[in-house]
Chain A
Amino acid sequence: MPDVSVTIDGTQINVPVGTNVVDAARLAGVAVPVFCYHPKMKPVGMCRMCLVEVYTPKVDPATRQVVMGEDGKPVLALMMNKLQTGCTTPISEGMVVNTASDRVKFAQKGVLEFLLTSHPLDCPVCDKGGECPLQNLTMQWGPDSSRFDYEDKIHFEKPIPLGDLILLDRERCILCSRCVRFEDELADDNVLGFGSRGRSWEIISKSTPAFDSKFSGNTTDICPVGALTSSDFRFKARVWELKSTPSVCNLCPVGCNTSLDMRYNELMRVMPRENDAVNEIWVCDKGRYGHRYAVQENRLTTPLIKRNGEFVSATWEQAYSLIAERLGSYSGAQVAGLAGPKLPNEDLFSFARLFRENLGSNNLDHRPGSPADLPLDDLPRTYGVGKGTNLMTLGKGTAVLVIGADPEEEAPLYQLRLRAIAQRGGDLTVVSGYPTKLERSATRKVRVKPGTEAQFALALVQAVAAEKLASEEVLGSGRLKFSDEYRRVLAAHKFDDLVAATGLAREVVITTAKAFASAEHGIIVYGRSAAADPAIPQALAAFAALTGKLGKANSGLIALRPGGNFRGALDMGVRPDAAGQPGLSAQQVWQQAGTGVKAVYIAALNPAAENPAAAQALQKLDFVVVQDLFLTETAQYADVVLPAAAVIEREGTFTNAERREQRFRQARQAPANLPADWQSFQAVAQLLAERAPVAVAARTLKKGAKVFTPEAPQGWTAMLTSDVNDMVTRSVSGYNAASYSALSTSRGAWGRQPNEAVYYDGTSYENTEGVGIQIAASAEDSRTTLQLNLSAPALRPVGELVLLPVARAYDGGDWVRGSKLSARQVPAHIIMSVADTARLDVGIGELVTVSSAAGSITLPVQIETGLDLGVALLPEVRGSTLGALLTGAQTAITVVKA
């Protein structure tokens, strides 16, 4: 963009065309005070705090030429002959801005005096006190006294709830509309507005439930006063008492950077930590309010061993010895390990080593083994978005294809980030078989017949050939190899048949393919519905590869799968297919429980909660170890239960959906000094190695060597989490550059200037502790050949209705414990179309019995007006027992009124 030259308070500076005066001043190192303006949102000029003197060169109306003065310089004229709001005034060539003249100071003082006419003087009891822009700006720019009568201050009942999470103090509100605009513009939740008028003007929320937004907490951050406070943090602490620890949220694969604000050992609040490439300055409510589980009283604190059907407390030595003894007594094929995708990389790496090296078992999985599990899919390792990807920088020239995903439910921050790309001029196509929120922001909303995303994806591949959309560069490089199956599938599925199956017009598919192929950057985001059928990721990878959207920054695939660190689990090898001889998947483990499989070690997973088959299988096993924070449904079946430190009580790394590895730190001392999960894995491995030293390199051991000692068996000598990380960087492909010190490197973000706390105070934490390192996709190495494969789409089952499982952010999982969001968790239900519910004569909330070949369950009904006839959606929430019903990616069901 061309630059224009402006002078701000005597400093000449070149700034891009379109920059407003406030932002231009920031670039020149001049702070213009603001309340309503926020760089992430459109300016509105409501608060009048940024009034400045703006002079532009005088233009002769007759000649349209700049009038030159006697000194040879342009004659300047005060714009509109009055002060201008800096946020709504774009700079122009030759502009001279004065932010500190007497006239401006007079206006600023006046605005602040006016804003304070009704603002209460309750800073000592206000949660915002200490990080309040109104305090800061009043100190720097405000008057020292007010001419208004103190008794005339307007009083409101305080506070009133805007929703169950956010409280509104109307006396403190200065009506800047930052919260309203955030919800409307960024989050696309039209849940806040202005009620009444004049002096009674106030923020209202009339949605059901009130303030129904998954991003509501962010409004408390950007509120420049203490009007919006969070029920989670209200009156908990003064902000200056808090110590911030950099952390990373592991509740979904976005990997938002957070700051855990601690007072001593108490978690006071979770705040976003800025990272342009991940969460900008936001965090969803799940990430903000969903970490209280770690501070619950009912956490496990000692190992438990089951004796005569009762759990009794045991010492760590007893527990570890028993585990090592029992696990070691089986052959590798008889033991299996399941470790959840919310565990950090260090744990997953150690877990995989324990099984592969010490137990000689490849029976590893990070999925719970339910029929609702998604097939393994590691295509983003090759075709994922390249190193240097930063969605915040994308707009015009970028095409984003979202298919079979509901980003707000699966990875909420993507709702904001993908919508923002569309708002900046990017081309956003949302392909879905059922209504999703993101499609409201789409350039192209493509509603396929439910369950035909695979046909759509294959049609895109066919369109590449038909419309000659293939990238010459990629085809010419000779890197693409096509399997025989690829050719067979393409030959067997004609474009017109595929399009007909989706129920779309062929132009829709062709336009989508062309928009993607012709864009400079192309990103494909696919989620739960797409990943359920392996044919879809394969076709999407082929489409991205053929159109040249691979192996570079801002192009490629992004998979959204369950688990905040699913990407780490795949990379660290907690998967049955990682080694030469494939092991059993979690589903196979349950099927072979008691026959082929005798013992299972389960960490951070709760399969019994959702899957009755897993609960039965657990009872058939000889020996079960469960490692978790709580005595979960699964732990009830365990022979040994090991507690562990929560994420906030240890350090480690997570890898997010874009393969960005990020480091989090320890914020809290674990109760009873509980070990991190990897420490228990290591302790067991050390004992196993002692028992069977042949399993690892022989080394003389001191008799009775304790766990965690440097003399421990070779390879299991980690003292600190960073020691495990060293091993990860040495042995996991792609992670060699991601050492802890490298992960700590920070760069400035969102153009925050020094000392901007004056007006962005309390907004989010500046990132000083590392923005993470993106792991390169293997397609970025130009020597790799790219083997493309395709599969025939899963056939739509024949039946009265087809059931599709859908993801939900508020899934009622273990993270809900102690969370303010517990009220927002919905009980299990089935979602059906208007026509189907009318046919069955059932209304909202009435019970139906849903039956498939696998089993049947009874659930209340919800009606979705946008849903097609013949399809039912079953949200994956606690209690839905999806496992009892599903027979594949799509399940034929019958529904009768219960």
Chain B
Amino acid sequence: MALRDIHGAEIDTLLARYAQRRSAVLPLLYIAQDTYGHLTDDAVREVAEIIGMPATDVFEVVGFYSLYYTKPMGKWVLQVCDDVPCCFCGAEELITALEQALGLRAHGETTRDGMFTLERVKCVAACNKAPVLQANLDYIYNLTADKADELLNELRRRADSGEQLSVSGRAATV
């Protein structure tokens, strides 16, 4: 199903919000990313078509921002900050724990069941509550390695419960 069919009303609201249609490119890309899991070539072209922008211009936007994913991602994208304050508070231990629990490396790899993608990121502006992880752009504060399993279980439970998840962070609370 095309984006228009699924999210027609939301797309129209977004387009109406801006003086120029092209201003809606970022939120529309987020919608496309959540709908298709990641931004395939066709998905980007579909957004270009809806906005009436040259496809190349939309691909430029997608390529520029790190939060647009052009390869398949897990239902949960886990981004662990490995910048200095987080490191002091145990970020590396957290990463090791997550890597072991998920059986992958934190280079943007995705678990085989398609549930988690693990990435390292730089400062996410919550140093006072280090170490910090973002799960679909929702902050999980003071996440020490010993809490890793608990977090993964909780996230799995939420995914299985049928909760609407958004790798673009559209469901994020902060």
Contacts and interface: CB of A to CB of B under 8 A. Distances in A.
Contact of B57 (A193, A196, A197, A208): A193
Nearest to B61: A193
A192 B60 CA distance: 9
A207 B60 CA distance: 12
A197 B56 contact: no
Nearest to A204: B59
A191 interface: yes
A195 B55 contact: no
Nearest to B62: A195
B63 A196 contact: yes
Contacts of A195: 59-60, 63
Interface in B36-81: 41, 44-45, 54-60, 63-64
A190 B60 contact: no
B54 A197 contact: no
Interface in A166-211: 190-197, 204-208
Contact of A208 (B44, B55, B58): B55
B24 to A, nearest CB: 17
Nearest to A183: B56
A206 B55 contact: yes
A208 B59 CA distance: 13
Interface in B17-44: 41, 44
A191 B56 contact: yes
Contacts of A196: 63-64
A192 B56 contact: yes
B59 A197 contact: no
A152 B55 CA distance: 34
A205 B63 contact: no
Contact of A190 (B41, B45, B54): B54
A795 to B, nearest CB: 37
B55 A194 contact: no
B49 to A, nearest CB: 11
A197 B64 contact: yes
A361 B58 CA distance: 62
A156 to B, nearest CB: 15
A204 B64 CA distance: 12
For this complex, into which size category does the number of interface residues on chain A fall? 10 to 19
A207 B64 contact: no
Contacts of B56: 190-193, 204-207
B54 A191 contact: yes
Contacts, number: 36
Contacts of A206: 41, 44-45, 55-56, 58-59
B57 A190 contact: yes
Nearest to A190: B54
Contacts of B55: 206-208
A197 B59 CA distance: 12
A194 B54 contact: no
Nearest to B41: A206
A205 B56 CA distance: 6
Nearest to B59: A206
B120 to A, nearest CB: 16
A517 B167 CA distance: 59
A157 B45 CA distance: 25
B42 to A, nearest CB: 11
A195 B63 CA distance: 5
Max chain B Cβ within 10 angstroms of own Cβ: one of A194, A196, A204, A206: A206
A196 B64 CA distance: 5
A197 B63 CA distance: 7
Interface string A364-402: 000000000000000000000000000000000000000
A191 B54 CA distance: 7
Interface in A497-524: none
Contacts of A193: 56-57, 59-60
B93 to A, nearest CB: 29
Contacts of B41: 206
A207 B44 CA distance: 12
Nearest to A191: B56
A194 B64 CA distance: 9
A208 B41 CA distance: 12
B111 to A, nearest CB: 26
A193 B62 CA distance: 12
B64 to A, nearest CB: 5
Contacts of A208: 55
A174 to B, nearest CB: 18
A264 B77 CA distance: 62
B60 to A, nearest CB: 4
A215 to B, nearest CB: 15
Contacts of A197: 63-64
Interface in B79-129: none
A190 B58 CA distance: 11
Nearest to B54: A190
A204 B55 CA distance: 11
A194 B54 CA distance: 13
A205 B63 CA distance: 12
B100 to A, nearest CB: 30
Interface in A198-254: 204-208
Max chain A Cβ within 10 angstroms of own Cβ: one of B41, B44, B54, B59: B54
A272 B41 CA distance: 36
Contacts of A190: 54, 56-57
A204 B57 contact: no
Contacts of A205: 56
A194 B57 contact: no
Contacts of A192: 56
Contacts of A194: 60, 63-64
Contacts of B64: 194, 196-197
A389 B45 CA distance: 43
A426 B15 CA distance: 33
Contacts of B44: 206
Interface string A471-511: 00000000000000000000000000000000000000000
Contacts of A191: 54, 56
A435 B63 CA distance: 32
Max chain A Cβ within 10 angstroms of own Cβ: one of B44, B56, B64: B56
B40 to A, nearest CB: 13
Nearest to B60: A193
A177 to B, nearest CB: 11
B45 to A, nearest CB: 8
B30 to A, nearest CB: 18
A204 B60 CA distance: 8
A206 B58 CA distance: 9
A206 B41 CA distance: 9
Nearest to B64: A197
A435 B58 CA distance: 24
A195 B45 CA distance: 15
Max chain B Cβ within 10 angstroms of own Cβ: one of A192, A193, A196: A193
Interface string B118-160: 0000000000000000000000000000000000000000000
A196 B54 CA distance: 17
A193 B44 CA distance: 14
A194 B41 CA distance: 16
A719 B50 CA distance: 65
Contacts of B54: 190-191, 207
Contacts of B45: 206
A196 B60 CA distance: 7
A197 B57 CA distance: 14
B59 to A, nearest CB: 5
A207 B53 CA distance: 11
B43 to A, nearest CB: 12
Nearest to B55: A206
Interface of A: 190-197, 204-208
10 contacts: A190-B56, A193-B56, A194-B64, A204-B56, A204-B59, A204-B60, A206-B41, A206-B45, A206-B55, A207-B55
Given A193-B57, A206-B41, A206-B58, 7 more contacts: A191-B54, A191-B56, A194-B63, A195-B59, A196-B63, A197-B63, A204-B56
Query: Which 10 pairs, one residue from A and one from B, show the smallest C-beta to C-beta distance?
Result: A190-B54, A195-B63, A193-B60, A193-B56, A196-B63, A206-B55, A206-B56, A206-B59, A197-B64, A194-B60
